Amino acid sequence: MLDAFSRAVVSADASTAPVGDLSALKAFVASGNRRLDAVNA
């Protein structure tokens, strides 16, 4: 099972293109940070 980063890299590698979905990856990281903040609180 691939996470969001692995899916973006694999799809970019398959099409020999640079990773183009940076905004989605940025949102993924931001949501992960919110979850960590909730766990640490």
pTM score: 0.42
pLDDT of residue 41: 67
What are the pLDDT tens digits along the chain (41 aa)?
567 777 777 777 777 666 666 777 788 788 877 776 677 76
pLDDT of residue 23: 72
Contact 7, 14 (CB under 8 A): no
Contacts of 17 (CB under 8 A, 6+ apart): none
